[in-house]
């Protein structure tokens, strides 16, 4: 909690307006990225299950809707949108339904479309069909921010050839890029224990920026780490940040990893100090 108090700030008063940037809502990250993501680009947030990918993506949409009058579209396939809204309401206290009622935040559950494909026994969905569905929502609600959480289920296929899957992903991203002025955030779940950046090994090359969320253990302490691996057209070096997830706020960066580890060393030394023997009498 000491770190949270040390870096506390008035979120709404501090945030300036950037003409060519879409702030993520994670203040420390936005300072590093010169204001946030470049508008109109596609970004990837990757990590194993339970690392905070959905919260990061919703924080991105919530920030745009509340502070910048940028309506957001959240696309889900694996989990019903009602479950997502209930989950963040109960865990973080976020009232996404209020933004939804104002058409500032729109939820699109693509599971119904995928069931249609399954009934028609299609082995895959044309990326242009997926893009068409998204484009209709973009035009209808004036969407400026788009989240696809996660990207992998959009590939409906019985193909096992990796090269085919990668080519399909390239075509899907190409179709998404046709939607000008839309800042897109994709999430990708990495199988547990695999040292990868994305599910198919191609998403990180197609995205303009990549952030990986992971857990790290050091001296018996386990903490969350955000790895800013790549940010095209932004002068920022790859680096790792320690973060936590707080009620009402969401993702909050505590410090750079190297600084945090120095603090852990101090805590560790304090915890492991041997009690001194009383002086001889």
Question: Taking residues 194-204, what's their average pLDDT?
Answer: 77
Contacts of 248 (CB under 8 A, 6+ apart): 92, 93, 94
Pairing label, strands 105-109, 183-189: unpaired
Query: At residue 60, does pLDDT exceed 90?
Result: yes
168 touches 157 (CB < 8 A): yes
Q: What is the DSSP letter of 154?
A: G
pTM greater than the 0.75 cutoff: yes
More confident residue, 10 or 189: 189
Per-residue pLDDT band at 274 (split at 50, 70, 90): low
Query: Which tokens hold the place of 82?
Result: 């009602």
Q: What is the DSSP letter of 152?
A: G
Per-residue pLDDT band at 153 (split at 50, 70, 90): confident
Q: How far apart are CA 166 and CA 39, in angstroms?
A: 25
Query: Which tokens hold the place of 20?
Result: 């060519």
Q: How far apart are CA 62 and CA 255, in angstroms?
A: 23
Per-residue pLDDT band at 118 (split at 50, 70, 90): very low
- Among the residues of 20-149, which ranges form H helices? 27-32, 53-67, 81-92, 96-101, 111-119, 127-141
- Closest by CA to 89, choosing from 250, 236, 231, is 250
Q: How far apart are CA 234 and CA 103, in angstroms?
A: 31
Q: What is the DSSP letter of 75?
A: E
The percentage of residues in the chain with a pLDDT greater than 90, rounded to a whole number, is 58
Q: Is 57 exposed, middle or buried (0-12, 13-18, 19+ CB in 10 A)?
A: buried
**CATH for the 42-211 domain, from 3.40.50.720, 3.40.1710.10, 3.20.140.10, 3.40.50.300:** 3.40.50.300
Residue 262 backbone phi and psi in degrees, to 5 = -65, -40
Q: How far apart are CA 48 and CA 28, in angstroms?
A: 23
Lowest-confidence segment of 129-138, 146-155, 225-234 by average pLDDT: 146-155
Q: How far apart are CA 281 and CA 19, in angstroms?
A: 74
**Cα angle for residues 67, 72, 73 (degrees, 5° grid):** 165
Per-residue pLDDT band at 142 (split at 50, 70, 90): very high
245 touches 251 (CB < 8 A): yes
Q: How far apart are CA 65 and CA 98, in angstroms?
A: 11
Residue 146 backbone phi and psi in degrees, to 5 = -130, 135
Contacts of 256 (CB under 8 A, 6+ apart): 239, 240, 241, 242
Query: At residue 25, does pLDDT exceed 90?
Result: yes
């Amino acid at each position: 909690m000491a770190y949270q108090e040390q870096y506390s700030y008035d979120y709404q008063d501090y945030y300036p307006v950037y003409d060519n940037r879409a702030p993520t809502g994670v203040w420390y990250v936005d300072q590093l990225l010169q204001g946030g993501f470049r508008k109109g680009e596609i970004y990837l947030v990757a990590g194993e299950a339970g690392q905070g990918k959905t919260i990061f993506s919703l924080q991105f949409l919530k920030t745009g809707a509340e502070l910048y009058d940028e309506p957001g579209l959240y696309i889900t396939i694996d989990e019903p949108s009602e479950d997502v809204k209930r989950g963040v309401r109960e865990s973080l206290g976020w009232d996404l339904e209020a933004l939804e009622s104002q058409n500032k935040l729109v939820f699109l559950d693509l599971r119904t479309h995928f069931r249609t494909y399954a009934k028609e026994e299609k082995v895959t969905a044309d990326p242009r069909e997926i893009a068409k569905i998204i484009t209709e929502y973009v035009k209808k609600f004036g969407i400026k921010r788009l989240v696809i959480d996660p990207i992998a289920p959009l590939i409906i296929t019985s193909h096992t050839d990796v090269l085919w899957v990668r080519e399909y992903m390239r075509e899907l991203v190409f179709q998404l890029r046709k939607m000008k002025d839309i800042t897109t955030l994709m999430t990708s779940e990495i199988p547990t224990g695999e040292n990868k950046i994305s599910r198919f090994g191609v998403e990180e090359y197609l995205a303009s920026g990549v952030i990986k969320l992971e857990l790290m253990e050091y001296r018996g302490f386990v903490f969350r780490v955000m790895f800013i691996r790549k940010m095209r057209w932004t002068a920022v070096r790859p680096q790792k940040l320690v973060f936590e997830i707080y009620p009402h706020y969401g993702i909050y960066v505590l410090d750079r990893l190297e600084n945090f580890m120095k603090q852990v060393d101090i805590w560790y030394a304090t915890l492991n100090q041997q009690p001194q023997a009383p002086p001889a009498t």
